[in-house]
Every structure is written in structure tokens, then in C-alpha cells.
Amino acid sequence: MHTIATIKDVANMAGVSTTTVSHVINKTRFVSKDLIERVNDAITTLNYQPYGLARSLRRKQSGTIGIVIPDNTNPFFAEVVRGIEDTCFENGYSVFLCNSDGKPAKERNYLQLLIEKGVDGLVLVSTGDDEEAMRLLENREIPKVIVDREISGLHMDSVLVDNQQGGYSAARYLIELGHRTIGCIMGPSNITPSGQRIEGFRKGLKEGGLLLDENMVATGDFKSFGGYEGFKKLLRGELVPTAIFVCNDMMALGALNAARELGIDVPEQLSLIGFDDIALASLINPNLTTIAQPKYELGETGAELLLKRINNKGRSESRIVKKTHLVIRDTCLPANSTDR
Ligand code: RIB
């Protein structure tokens, strides 16, 4: 059966990345003569039609994709969006990026606007369990995909991570370091990854013979100041933790700031572990130990799912769950080495 060559087929044959193939086709960046020749030879051999299929299938379409994220100041979303945008661009689509600022009303307005503007598909990282926005989406034929934040009861293509496994890994790591008095700064309770991470964290503690003391839990807003305030709340308690799991890196940065202000040395006096592995995690001092999410791949896979949906609206629903992994850097030490 004659299969239509994709940009990945061209890249594989030429021995380059799909981004390089895209830059050769669109002349958007310098590429060496040798690579240009290899790419063009592959295009000819495979009879690859850069936008032929996409354009023909898009006959009455705008060639644009709408993206709505909750916080464009958080580097986590910047990396997710980069994965979406690269994949869309390589397949002949431009993107509109909208920031809902975590506000359901703003999210609904942007979704409505993008639909009215006639985008060919939507990628959404939701503000949380926003019923009205989800009803708006469910009642519309427009191809759409949910990335990162699952919405209970909503049936559409989604690309997520195993947040329970991530929270569980954080707990097991701290227990293996010998910590017994462990606190947690969780994200907003209306956002599914928050609850899932805490669920996994509790499970990991329980397997280590520990229960998460409710007085050792602070709730933040996934922003740095929320982590700063959460840290200070935990340190005001009667029971002072020797380790804290922070449910995203931006809050962990705020917690590090609070520790500095309180004269608490991380990790000498208190261990800290984050979640996301944003680029800043490896640049700050001390470098942050964290649970890494596949941020770029979340966006890339989300865009790939959306393009498949655009080209085949009747395809069955996909739910892809990716794994997280522990990245050990400099903010955790064994409990017995903690200078309390
Ligand atoms: O840092 C932002 C957080 O919100 C991330 O952990 C991501 O999972 C998103 O849901």
C-alpha cells in the first residue's frame, strides 16, 4: 500500500532531525550544503510533499492552531509550547498562543475567540476543573487535545504524565535518605496533577512506615511566592521537617528564597525536592533536585495527536500517559548528615 511520506521519514533517511528538514524546506535557518543535499535527495526519493497532504486536507482550513496555557511566565509551559509549536510548524501550521492566567473566564473567552477565528484545532492546558469551558469544548466539533491537566469527565484526546508515580518517587527518595519528618508544599487543589502527586507521595510515605501529617502540608499556587509562603508556614510549625517535597519547581525556587531569609541552609539543614525540572533547576545555587517531566515531549505528542485528529476526525480517542524521572542534584542530603 502506498504510504504518504512524513517529515520524520525524510529526516530518518537523510540522517538529520525533523527540525533540520523543516529549516531546509522553509529556509528559516542556515543549513550546510551537504545537509541540504541529503535532505533534498530524501525528499525526492520519498516523493515527500511538504505541505501537499496537509494543505489538501486543509482545503477549507486556516492552517492555524490555538494554544491556551494557564501561566506564560512559568518556564514549564514555555517548554511544552515549544514542543507544540515545532511540531505544528514542521507540518505547515502557525500557532496562536493565549495565556488564561489561571482564570476560567479568561480561558473561556480565549477558547471562544479561537473557535470564532476558525483555528483548525486547539491545544489546552486548563486552569483546572473549569466546567463551563469544558462544556464549550465538548459541544464543539473542533479537533482538540488536553495536555498535562486531565479534566474529570471530559472525553477528548489527552497527553499527561504519571503524577502519582512522580510523587511516589519523591517520597521513596527522601525515605531512602533516612528522612522521617517530611513536609510538603502542594499545588492548587482544583488542578488534577496536584492531587495526583500528593496521592503518590502519601503512598510512598506509607510504604516507608510514615503518614503525612496534615500540619506538615502547605498549599501553594504553583508560583514562586506560593512556595515562599508555604515554606515559612511549615517552618513555623511545632514539628520542623528535615525534608520538604514541593509540587513544582517554581514554588521550590520560592521555598529556597524563604530558607535563605530564615538562615536555613539547604541541604545542610533541610532537604528540598521539586517537580518539573525546568531549565532554571540546573542553574540556581544549589542546583535543585527534582522530579522531571518530559515537557517538550508533552507538547510534541499533543500536537501530533491533534494533527492526526484534524486529518481523521473519527479516530478513536487517545490517552497517552508519560513517565517522570528523578533528577538528583544538590538540594537533598541524608537525614543523619543534616545539621539540625
Ligand atoms: O509548574 C506548573 C505546574 O502546572 C506543572 O507541574 C505542570 O504539571 C502544570 O500542571
- Cβ burial of 31 (10 Å; 0-12, 13-18, 19+) is middle
Q: Are residues 157 and 302 in the same domain?
A: yes
- Residue 19: pLDDT band with limits 50, 70, 90: confident
- Residue 223, pLDDT > 70, answer yes
**Cα(8) to centroid of ligand 1, in Å?**
29
pLDDT of residue 60: 55
What atom in ligand 1 is closest to the CA of residue 192?
A: 10
pLDDT of residue 1: 46
Of 211-215, 268-272, 284-288, 329-333, give the lowest mean pLDDT range: 211-215
150, 192 contact by CB (below 8 A): yes
User: How much is the average pLDDT of 246-254?
Assistant: 98
Q: What is the pLDDT of residues 42-74, one digit of tens each?
A: 988 888 876 655 554 545 578 999 999 999 999
pLDDT of residue 144: 95
318, 301 contact by CB (below 8 A): no
Q: Residues, the chain, total?
A: 340
Is ligand 1 within 6 A of the CB of residue 76? yes
**Cα(276) to centroid of ligand 1, in Å?**
7
Is ligand 1 within 6 A of the CB of residue 192? no
More confident residue, 32 or 138: 32
The CATH number of residue 91's host domain is: 3.40.50.2300
**How far apart are alpha carbons 182 and 211 in whole angstroms?**
9
Handedness of CA 64, 17, 278, 187 (dihedral sign): positive
Q: Are residues 213 and 231 in the same domain?
A: yes
Q: What is the pLDDT of residues 59-113, one digit of tens each?
A: 557 899 999 999 999 999 999 999 999 999 999 999 999 999 999 999 999 999 9
- Residue 184, pLDDT > 80, answer yes
- Which residue of 165, 248, 250, 273 sits with most ligand 1 atoms within 8 Å of its CB, as the best mutation to test the pocket? 248
Is ligand 1 within 6 A of the CB of residue 276? yes
**Cα(194) to centroid of ligand 1, in Å?**
8
User: How much is the average pLDDT of 34-41?
Assistant: 92
- Cα within 13 Å of Cα(78), Cβ side: 8
What is the pLDDT of the chain when averaged over all its residues?
A: 92
Q: What is the pLDDT of residues 139-178, one digit of tens each?
A: 788 999 999 998 877 788 999 999 999 999 999 999 999 9
Q: Are residues 174 and 289 in the same domain?
A: yes
pLDDT of residue 25: 84
Q: Are residues 43 and 121 in the same domain?
A: no
pLDDT of residue 334: 97
Ligand 1, atom 1, lies closest to the CA of 248
What atom in ligand 1 is closest to the CA of residue 76?
A: 1
Q: Are residues 201 and 227 in the same domain?
A: yes
- Residue 338: pLDDT band with limits 50, 70, 90: low
**How far apart are alpha carbons 250 and 254 in whole angstroms?**
7
Does 185 map to a domain? yes
The CATH number of residue 26's host domain is: 1.10.260.40
Ligand 1, atom 7, lies closest to the CA of 148
Ligand 1, atom 4, lies closest to the CA of 222
User: How much is the average pLDDT of 116-130?
Assistant: 91
State the residue range of the domain holding 95. Answer: 64-162+295-322
**Cα(24) to centroid of ligand 1, in Å?**
34
Q: Are residues 270 and 314 in the same domain?
A: no
Q: Are residues 48 and 89 in the same domain?
A: no
Of 1-15, 206-220, 240-254, 274-288, give the lowest mean pLDDT range: 1-15
